C-alpha cells in the first residue's frame, strides 16, 4: 500500500488538483488511480492555462482552431472538455463501485459569471449536458449569486463542486443552498440518491494571510482549527430528505505556502472519514515520499477551540477575513481566465 492509498483506507478521498491531456495520454493518471487510489480530479482556469501553454499535446488542437468561428471561451471548451470526458471515463469504474460516492472530475463555469446567478445556472446546465458524464462536477463559486445557482443546479440533478469557501459563514451558506436544492428536487418527486456535491474549503491561504498578524504561538494553526471545527459541525448536520447524501467537505489549497512549515502539513492534519483533499502534484509527490497517514481531523478539540478563541481575542473575525480572501480569489480566477482566453484566441 502506498502512503497515499493509506489515506483512502481511513475513509478520505484524495483528488488530484490538476488535469491535462498529457496526464491522460501518458497513462500517468490511470497509474495514480491504480496505485495511489486517487479518487477524482479538480481543475480551474489557472490549471488549464498552464496545461494548454506547456503541454505539447494541445499544440496541434490549438492550431486547428486558428480559423474557427468559435469565440475564445468556446475554443477553450473545445480543447478542454474532451479531456474532462476522458478523465470521467477513467474514473467511471470507481464511480460505479462506490455507488456514486467517488470518481468525480470537476470543471468550472466562467469566473466572469460570479455575480450572475441566472448566467451561472445556465452555464452549469450547458456544461453538464455537454460533458455528458454522470461523474462530472460543475464548479460554482460560493458568491451570493453562486449560492442561488447552486440550489438550482442541485434541484436539476447536477453534481456541484462549490469553490472559494474561506470562512464558517460562507460554508454555512453553501450547506444551506445545497439543502434547498435537495429539498426542492425531493418535493418535485425526483430522485436524490445520486446527487453529489462537495464544499471546497480553502486552507493554506487563510494562514498565509493571518500569520503576519499573529503571535508565534498561534501561527500556522488557524486554517487547521477552522477545518476541524467545520468537520465536527458537519458530523452533526441534520439528515436530508429521502436517501439524499450530505454534501462532502473538501479541503482545497492544501499545498504549504510557508517553507517553514512541513510540506504535507495540510494533508496530514486534515484526514477524516467522509472528506476529500484535493492535492497538487508537488504535494502529492511529497506525501508519497514522506507523508504519514492517520485519522487526524477529530483530534485535539480543546486545542482547536483554544486556537479559535485566541484569534477572536485579537479582534480577528474569520468571516470578515473569509470575505477578503474570497474577493482576492475571484480576482485571481478572473485574471487566470482572461490569460487563458487570450492564449486560445
Catalytic residues: 139
| Cβ neighbours for 182, distance < 8 A, ≥ 6 positions apart | 154, 155, 192, 195, 240, 241, 244
Among 225, 191, 190, CA closest to 207 = 225
DSSP string, 35-79: HH---EE---HHHHHHHHHH-GGGHHHHHHTTT-SS-HHHHHHHH
Across the chain, the runs of DSSP E, i.e. the strands, are 13-16, 40-41, 104-108, 136-141, 160-165, 197-202, 248-252, 276-279
Among 231, 229, 304, CA closest to 272 = 231
d(CA 186, CA 204): 36
* CA terminus-to-terminus distance, the chain: 45
d(CA 151, CA 160): 10
Amino acid at each position: 500500500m502506498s502512503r497515499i492509498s493509506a489515506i483512502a483506507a481511513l475513509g478520505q478521498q484524495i483528488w488530484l488538483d490538476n488535469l491535462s491531456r498529457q496526464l491522460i495520454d501518458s497513462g500517468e493518471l490511470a497509474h495514480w488511480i491504480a496505485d495511489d487510489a486517487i479518487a477524482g480530479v479538480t481543475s480551474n482556469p489557472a490549471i488549464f492555462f498552464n496545461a494548454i501553454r506547456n503541454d505539447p499535446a494541445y499544440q496541434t488542437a490549438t492550431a486547428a482552431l486558428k480559423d474557427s468561428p468559435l469565440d475564445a471561451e468556446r475554443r477553450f471548451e473545445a480543447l478542454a472538455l474532451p479531456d474532462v470526458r476522458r478523465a470521467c471515463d477513467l474514473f467511471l469504474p470507481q464511480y460505479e463501485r462506490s455507488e456514486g460516492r467517488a470518481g468525480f472530475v470537476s470543471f468550472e463555469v466562467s469566473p466572469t459569471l460570479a455575480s450572475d446567478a441566472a448566467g451561472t445556472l445556465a452555464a452549469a446546465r450547458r456544461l453538464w449536458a455537454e460533458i455528458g458524464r454522470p461523474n462530472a462536477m460543475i464548479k460554482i463559486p460560493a458568491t451570493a449569486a453562486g449560492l442561488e445557482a447552486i440550489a438550482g443546479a442541485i434541484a436539476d440533478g447536477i453534481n456541484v463542486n462549490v469553490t472559494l469557501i474561506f470562512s464558517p459563514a460562507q460554508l454555512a451558506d453553501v450547506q444551506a443552498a445545497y439543502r434547498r436544492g435537495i429539498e426542492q428536487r425531493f418535493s418535485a418527486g425526483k430522485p436524490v440518491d445520486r446527487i453529489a456535491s462537495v464544499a471546497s474549503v480553502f486552507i493554506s491561504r487563510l494562514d498565509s494571510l493571518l500569520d503576519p498578524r499573529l503571535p508565534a504561538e498561534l501561527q500556522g494553526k488557524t486554517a487547521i482549527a477552522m477545518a476541524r471545527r467545520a468537520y465536527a459541525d458537519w458530523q452533526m448536520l441534520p439528515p436530508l430528505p429521502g436517501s439524499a447524501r450530505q454534501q462532502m467537505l473538501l479541503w482545497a489549497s492544501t499545498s504549504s505556502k510557508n517553507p517553514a512549515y512541513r510540506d504535507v502539513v495540510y494533508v496530514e492534519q486534515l484526514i477524516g472519514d467522509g472528506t476529500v483533499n484535493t492535492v497538487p502534484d508537488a504535494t502529492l509527490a511529497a506525501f508519497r515520499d514522506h507523508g504519514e497517514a492517520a485519522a487526524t481531523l477529530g483530534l485535539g478539540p480543546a486545542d482547536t477551540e483554544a486556537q479559535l478563541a485566541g484569534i477572536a481575542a485579537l479582534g480577528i473575525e474569520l468571516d470578515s477575513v473569509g470575505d477578503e480572501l474570497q474577493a482576492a480569489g475571484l480576482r485571481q480566477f478572473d485574471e487566470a481566465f482572461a490569460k487563458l482566453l487570450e492564449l486560445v484566441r
